[in-house]
Chains A and B, each alone.
Chain A
Amino acid sequence: MINSVQKSAPLLAPDLALDARGVARRFGARWVLRGVNLQVRAGEIVGLLGHNGCGKSTLLRIVATLLKPSAGDAYVFGANVKTEGDDVRRNIGFFAHVPGLYDDLTARENLAFAATMLGLPSADIDAALERVGLTHVTHERVRGFSAGMQRRLSLARLVLQRPRFLLLDEPYNNLDTAGIALMNGFIRELGNAGGAALIVVHDLATATPVLERTVTIREGRIAPATPDDAAHLAGSPEASVVPSGAAGIS
């Protein structure tokens, strides 16, 4: 599948998880993105920074095929987000602001539904629930879950899916310390296995252990890193280091 996609876009480097070229998007008369150029290599974990409303989530939603760019192109592992949406969706895992779960289904049923929609075997569901620490509520409806538990269940869906390219929109919201560690562990594991991630973060300190570099959106474009960004990363002993010892994604 990937080979056939790469044939249709021969100018793309084969190891690019994301290649955004002049991506622009407007809502009505207001341009939110004005030509974003961004490359993310396979195996690279990139933080996406910027003030509220600068277009971080919009960029993520364009890459996830949830929004169409008003101008420009973006490719995920060689597949064009505008014209080869299905190929893009086979490679990405999207972790949104909202959990995207069904309140009247149980935790297990939510994952079983996701597994069926993704064409995955349901044998791994219990392992995914155990991984995120939700085995004690496997057969309980999501309606009674706290916000943090719902985020963990969304993470379990990603664990089940094992995407090649993670798009995370403020993934640490509502997660406790253990939940943050779970999230970072999963991101590291994905990176070690050759996957990539683009993470929208506000609290850089939380994400610093997994980030290899950050980019900032300013006035609708990718702006050069500021000394503040560098200081944040330099402050963490784990920054710019791909942790070893984590299990790879099979």
Chain B
Amino acid sequence: MAFRDDMRRVRAIVWKDLTTERRSKAGFNAVASLGVTILVLFGFALGPDAQALRDAAAGALWLAVLFAGVLAFNRSYQVELDGGALEALLLYPGSRWAIFAGKVLANLIFVTAMLVIVVAVGLVLFQVTVPEDWGKIIGIMMLGVIGLVLLGTFYAAMSSRSRAREVLLPLLLYPMLIPVLLASMEATKAFLRGDLMNQAGAWAQMLGAFDVIFLVATFLAFEYVIEV
């Protein structure tokens, strides 16, 4: 019964976050624009060499998602801080993990939507041919996004009470994301090159393992970081 109540709260938080985001629009437009801008800047930096662009595509794509994602994570708690809604949220009875789960799911949908735009632009800009087993590359990307969103949502909660949260979040998040980012980039790169050395599977397994570790750790620790 309690679990069902918590699941109802999770759904309510997802609905609330997505509805406020859909209506304000500013957040998604800004985040997606930043992601695309970073890709374009990488394109300019690498020059017109098609092979160089293709080689750098995976790295550029994940860095664009990372930098734009930080904006999204900060914003997901900014909505709560405006008008003191975070305190109201914390005053509702029920498990704290329900708040975190709701935030993670809403951010997952948000970042995935942003990823679709960034990937579409990246494919054109970096002259990447879509591999035949594109289903696997989508799987890799989702594993990467799950790791990014879990840690991003967790550290955004941790830094949300700080006045310097915009600076604090990247400082906390980027070092912790190195394994996820590395595994995501290497797995994506391997797939884009046809996975001739059968490396992608190993990177994907590592990515899955990181996701499980981060999932357990963040859900267990959330209650303590959100308390004052």
Contact = CB atoms under 8 A, between A and B. Distances in A.
A100 B88 CA distance: 6
Nearest to B25: A104
A109 B19 CA distance: 10
Contact of A96 (B8, B84, B95, B227): B84
A76 interface: no
B165 to A, nearest CB: 18
A92 B89 CA distance: 14
A116 B12 contact: yes
A90 B93 contact: yes
B92 A67 contact: no
Given A89-B93, A96-B84, A102 B20 contact: yes
A175 B24 CA distance: 28
Contacts of B24: 104
Interface in A61-102: 64-68, 86, 89-90, 92, 94, 96-102
Contact of B83 (A103, A109, A119): A103
B5 A101 contact: no
A156 B87 CA distance: 17
Dominant SS among interface residues on chain B? helix
A21 interface: no
A100 B84 contact: yes
A100 B83 CA distance: 5
Contact of A105 (B16, B82, B92): B16
A118 interface: yes
Interface in A162-190: none
Interface in B79-120: 79, 82-85, 87-95
B162 to A, nearest CB: 15
A97 B19 contact: no
A141 interface: yes
Contacts of A94: 87-88, 91
Nearest to B9: A117
B83 A99 contact: yes
A31 interface: no
Nearest to A90: B93
A130 to B, nearest CB: 22
B23 interface: yes
Given A67-B228, A96-B84, A97-B84, A104 B12 contact: no
Nearest to A89: B93
Contacts of A86: 93-95
Contact of A92 (B8, B11, B82, B91): B91
Contact of B8 (A68, A99, A104, A116): A116
Contacts of A118: 92-93
B92 A117 contact: yes
Contacts of A100: 83-85, 87-88
B12 A117 contact: yes
A93 to B, nearest CB: 8
Contacts of A102: 16, 20, 79, 83, 85
Contact of A64 (B23, B91, B227): B91
B20 to A, nearest CB: 4
A68 to B, nearest CB: 7
A236 to B, nearest CB: 31
12 contacts: A66-B90, A96-B84, A97-B84, A98-B83, A100-B83, A102-B85, A103-B83, A105-B16, A113-B12, A117-B89, A118-B93, A119-B5
User: Sorted from nearest, which 10 A-B pairs have the closest CB atoms?
Assistant: A100-B88, A98-B84, A117-B92, A116-B12, A104-B20, A104-B23, A89-B93, A90-B93, A100-B84, A100-B85
Given A66-B90, A98-B87, A117-B92, 17 more contacts: A86-B95, A96-B84, A96-B87, A97-B84, A99-B83, A100-B83, A102-B20, A103-B20, A104-B19, A104-B23, A105-B19, A113-B12, A113-B16, A114-B88, A116-B12, A118-B93, A119-B94
Interface of A: 64-68, 86, 89-90, 92, 94, 96-105, 109, 113-114, 116-119, 141, 150
Interface of B: 5, 8-9, 11-12, 15-16, 19-20, 23-24, 79, 82-85, 87-95, 227-228
